[in-house]
């Protein structure tokens, strides 16, 4: 752990709930987010600790509630803030008296998106997702020839990114099934193949200089932290519109992030070697480094839960639909940052990357219903007997993630929750 005292699994906090073995937010985590008390107050910056939030202004740790300014600081300043938080929240700290007045219960606040999000890019880093989905569209040629060379991505839209708790109406759009006769007009209606995508969000810290690529060695200094991310997708709209320029209205009606940014410092104990399967080409030199091979992967366990309206009425928390791990991704965080800037593209503080759907190697590890239901052909039967090929109105999708290994304190990401509402009346009618 490089002697980072803030990661010592033996550390305990004077905030009692942070010492609960099941909390996502022990003193070793210290993720950052924005909150307000009630629905109208000003946004404030906070750090999750157990079931509480430490208000960073009230604790005297920041002057203003500007998350972007905090994120744009260099690595040394970020490190110093983490150390101050770790020292001050530690059991026996002299800060307890002053800081206990700066705590707010998480149950008493509204969380916001963690920072002002500038640009949003979605990647496609799971080769398992790319292969399974590719098979549905192109059975004889599932994985396109660029996949193992280029971290595939597209520019998305930040304006409709919401925070956990988001509810949005089922989108309208044009669809035309692949089986429709050639030349027939498309249908226009609410999507009937609405899906989720299990992803992680990567938040950019420090910008690059305009025009200057970020090297693999520098890449992680430009990353502030990770969240959960649900890239809701209307598969029927996507299937009709996506060629030749890629996803458009099938993706930009809603995307949901979890409120707490878990820093790379907190994730340090869960780094793993990153290697490609034998026989695969090595990444081009600009996307390769010894450090990336030694510890580029991050062991983050991921889960998707579904709570239908009927389950909710029955007081049922939902079914776990799948589990996967971020360590199975084909491209690392550093490779995404480096590739995105290799042409001189400017990344700015608060930019968000989606990792792409994080499916694992086995079929039951699909990170979307498209995969789990075989393109809608094999509906899932839920624990209460309901069936799903795609999402129904009233369905709530809950993403969760945590890191756990011997010799380290378990940390988690909290939840990323979103609910599908019925479609609005017909547009233009
Ligand atoms: Mn996606």
Which residues have a Cβ under 8 Å from the Cβ of 388 and sit 6 or more positions away? 306, 308, 369, 373, 379, 380, 382, 395
Measured distance CA(402)–CA(414) in Å, rounded: 8
- Do the Cβ atoms of 348 and 119 come closer than 8 Å? yes
Digit-coded pLDDT (tens) for 317-342? 999 999 999 999 999 999 999 999 99
Digit-coded pLDDT (tens) for 57-96? 999 999 999 999 999 998 999 999 999 999 999 999 999 9
For residue 27, report the distance from its CA to the centre of ligand 1, in Å: 32
Tell me the domain boundaries of the chain: 5-111, 128-421
For residue 418, report the distance from its CA to the centre of ligand 1, in Å: 15
Q: Hey, CA dihedral for 416, 48, 298, 119, is it positive or negative?
A: positive
Domain 128-421 grouped into CATH 3.90.850.10: yes
Q: Which of 128, 129, 339, 340 is catalytic?
A: 129
What percent of the chain stands above pLDDT 90? 94
Q: Is pLDDT above 70 for 344?
A: yes
| Residue 308 backbone zone (phi > 0: left; psi -120 to 50: alpha; other: beta) | beta
Measured distance CA(190)–CA(195) in Å, rounded: 13
Digit-coded pLDDT (tens) for 164-218? 999 999 999 999 998 899 999 999 999 999 999 999 999 999 999 999 999 999 9
Q: Is pLDDT above 80 for 3?
A: no
For residue 257, report the distance from its CA to the centre of ligand 1, in Å: 12
For residue 359, report the distance from its CA to the centre of ligand 1, in Å: 11
Confidence at residue 1, expressed as pLDDT on a 0 to 100 scale:
42
Measured distance CA(50)–CA(22) in Å, rounded: 9
Q: Is pLDDT above 70 for 2?
A: no
Q: Is 339 tagged catalytic?
A: no
| Residue 162 backbone zone (phi > 0: left; psi -120 to 50: alpha; other: beta) | beta
Digit-coded pLDDT (tens) for 378-387? 999 999 999 9
Q: Which residue has the tokens 């690392």?
A: 332
pTM equals 0.97
Domain 5-111 grouped into CATH 2.30.30.230: yes
For residue 65, report the distance from its CA to the centre of ligand 1, in Å: 30
Which contacts (CB < 8 Å, 24+ apart) does range 185-188 have?
A: 186/240
For residue 58, report the distance from its CA to the centre of ligand 1, in Å: 38
């Amino acid at each position: 752990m490089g002697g980072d005292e803030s990661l010592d699994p033996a550390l305990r906090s004077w905030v009692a709930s942070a010492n609960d073995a099941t909390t996502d937010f022990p003193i070793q985590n210290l993720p950052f987010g924005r909150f307000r008390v009630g629905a109208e107050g000003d946004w404030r910056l906070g750090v999750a600790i157990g079931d509480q939030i430490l208000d960073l202004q009230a604790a005297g740790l920041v002057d203003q509630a500007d998350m972007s300014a905090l994120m744009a600081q260099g690595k040394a300043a970020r490190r110093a803030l983490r150390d101050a938080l770790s020292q001050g929240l530690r059991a026996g700290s002299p800060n307890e008296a002053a800081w206990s007045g700066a705590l707010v219960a998480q149950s008493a606040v509204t969380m916001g998106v963690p920072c002002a999000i500038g640009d949003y890019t979605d990647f496609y880093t799971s080769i398992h997702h790319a292969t399974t989905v590719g098979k549905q569209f192109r059975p004889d040629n599932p994985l396109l020839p660029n996949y193992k060379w280029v971290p595939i991505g597209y520019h998305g839209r930040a304006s409709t990114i919401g925070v956990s708790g988001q509810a949005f109406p089922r989108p309208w759009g044009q669809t035309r099934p692949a089986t429709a006769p050639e030349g027939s007009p498309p249908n226009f209606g609410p999507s009937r193949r609405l899906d989720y995508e299990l992803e992680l969000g990567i938040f950019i810290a420090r910008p690059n200089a305009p025009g200057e690529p970020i090297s693999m060695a520098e890449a992680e200094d430009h990353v502030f932290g990770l969240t959960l991310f649900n890239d809701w997708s209307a598969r029927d709209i996507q299937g009709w519109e996506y060629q030749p320029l890629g996803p458009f209205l099938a993706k930009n009606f809603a995307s949901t992030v979890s409120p707490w940014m878990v820093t790379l410092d907190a994730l340090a104990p869960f780094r793993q070697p990153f290697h490609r399967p034998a026989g695969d080409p090595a990444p081009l030199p600009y996307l390769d480094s010894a450090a990336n091979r030694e510890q580029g992967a991050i062991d983050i366990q991921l889960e998707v839960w579904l709570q239908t309206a009927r389950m909710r009425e029955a007081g049922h928390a939902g079914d776990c639909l799948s589990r996967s791990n971020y360590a199975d991704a084909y491209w690392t965080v550093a490779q995404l940052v480096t590739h995105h800037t290799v042409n001189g593209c400017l990344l700015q503080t608060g930019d968000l990357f989606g990792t792409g759907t994080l499916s694992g190697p086995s079929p039951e590890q699909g990170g979307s219903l498209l995969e789990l239901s075989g393109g809608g052909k094999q509906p899932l039967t839920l624990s209460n007997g309901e069936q799903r090929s795609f999402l129904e109105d009233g369905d709530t999708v809950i993403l969760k993630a945590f890191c756990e290994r011997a010799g380290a304190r378990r940390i988690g990401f909290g939840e990323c929750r979103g609910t599908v509402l019925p479609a609005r009346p017909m547009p233009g009618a």
